[in-house]
Amino acid sequence: MSGFGRQGDDYILSPEEIEQFHRDGYVTLRGVLSEEELAAIEPEFERFIRGEVAGMGRDFCDMSGPYGRKFEDFALVNAVLPRRYRPEIRDNLFERRAASISRQLIGETATLDYDQFLAKRPAKPDAVFTWHQDLGYWPTGTPEPLTATCSLALDDADSENGCLRVVPGSHRKGLRPHRPLMGEDREKSHILSVELTADDPVVELPLRRGDITVHDEMIIHGSGGNSSPDRWRRTYIAAFRTKACVDFERAIGFTHSHNDTINWETHLGALTAAD
| pLDDT, tens only, 30-71 | 999 999 999 999 999 999 999 999 999 999 999 888 888 999
Phi-psi region of 44 (alpha: psi -120 to 50; beta: other; left: phi over 0): alpha
CA 89/CA 236 separation, integer angstroms: 12
Q: What is the pTM of this model?
A: 0.92
- Domains of the chain, by residue range, sit at 5-274
CA 32/CA 39 separation, integer angstroms: 13
- Give the pLDDT confidence score for residue 189 in this predicted structure: 59
**What is the enclosing helix (H) or strand (E) of 46?**
helix 35-49
Decide: residue 174, CB within 10 A, 0-12 exposed, 13-18 middle, 19+ buried.
Answer: exposed
CA 121/CA 231 separation, integer angstroms: 8
**What is the rounded average pLDDT for all residues in the chain?**
92
CATH 2.60.120.620 given to domain 5-274: yes
In sequence order, which ranges of 68-150 are alpha helices (DSSP H)? 82-85, 93-106
In 3D space, the residue among 235, 24, 259, 12 whose CA is nearest the CA of residue 118 turns out to be 235
- Give the pLDDT confidence score for residue 15 in this predicted structure: 98
- Give the pLDDT confidence score for residue 63 in this predicted structure: 87
Residue 157 identity (one-letter amino acid): A
Average pLDDT (241-257) is 95
- Give the pLDDT confidence score for residue 266 in this predicted structure: 47
| Per-residue model confidence as pLDDT tens digits over 74-107 | 999 999 999 999 999 999 999 999 999 999 999 9
CA 251/CA 22 separation, integer angstroms: 28
| Per-residue model confidence as pLDDT tens digits over 132-185 | 999 988 998 899 999 999 999 999 999 999 999 999 999 999 999 888 766 555
Q: Please count the residues of the chain.
A: 275
Phi-psi region of 253 (alpha: psi -120 to 50; beta: other; left: phi over 0): left
If pLDDT is split at 50, 70 and 90, which confidence band does 191 have? confident
CA 165/CA 274 separation, integer angstroms: 40
In 3D space, the residue among 38, 154, 153, 29 whose CA is nearest the CA of residue 92 turns out to be 38
CA 132/CA 163 separation, integer angstroms: 15
The answer, yes or no, to whether residue 241 has pLDDT greater than 60, is: yes
What is the separation of C-alpha 142 from the centre of its chain, rounded to a whole number of angstroms? 18
